[in-house]
Structure 1
């Protein structure tokens, strides 16, 4: 089965008969090698990681507060969902995007969340093969005496989009429950402050 997966990716990257072209989706768990994990831990503890996070944070708050426009970061908000995404125009390296995806995951876990799923997906698009690495996290909660659940900030979706194995952008989206069974979500701005400080 693994050989079929690799063969399918190979054919999508390097071509096949035009008559056979169709949109296909291939997915599986997002797994990291031991060498990646070692490099990631070194990166997290490095001044470079702190510098990158501070830079993203500065751009985010300028955009969020309408102080300045940036072609490298976009913020969005609604009563049900808030988030942001940033792209290669911020000057982040290929590996830096993967490290940031996992650093954000770790920060959200420290906020009292558990990883619901971590996976990767390959999709054929007109420009080639799009890969989406995803972490989806939900709050670890227990019903209070009033039977109302603490949703914290809401559910958190982290996705890294790549095209032909080159990073394009990283997205963070927080979706809230409006159901009466859940307490009101904490402010997204507070989530962002904790995310950038803890990562």
Structure 2
């Protein structure tokens, strides 16, 4: 069997969880339905999982399950947005984003942003993305990417997606893509940033638990 996959039997043995736990977590949405992959083997039909994804997910569940309800954890692992609202000061403390990035983000807005300005989940998510983007793009390019995020992200936010930034002849091009994603580009175009937005969404929800 492909090393990228792990059988249900091996998964249960490796993690120490029970069959009942596995399927209970599936029912409440902690483990996606499409990770349960039925394959024919010499012993008949068996269930397999994408190894890295499921092991990482189960590790997080086991770490968090005693401190949060299963429904709260299901909300964390859902790609849907959260209803959380934080001020900039709270966000700097909880979301591991530097005040300098909020200053850059504030320059993209038409209204002033104070330390006690409430920020919704999508805004907090973009600021986390911007922290990574500014390592490879300039402030004006970040502004264009904010426009992309503001106008197009809602069409992608309920599905696994990535934010990809290409550069060709010095020009920055941003795009959202649904995952899994594979593509080839022209020789003089290169990927300068590739961010798993679903993973960032999940990480932000974990910080806000």
Whether TM-score is above 0.5 comes out as: no
**Bigger helix share:** 2
**Quick check: which has more Rg, 1 or 2?**
2
TM-score bracket, shorter-length normalisation: under 0.3
TM-score normalised by length of structure 2: 0.24
Higher-RCO chain (CA-CA 8 Å, sequence separation at least 6): 1
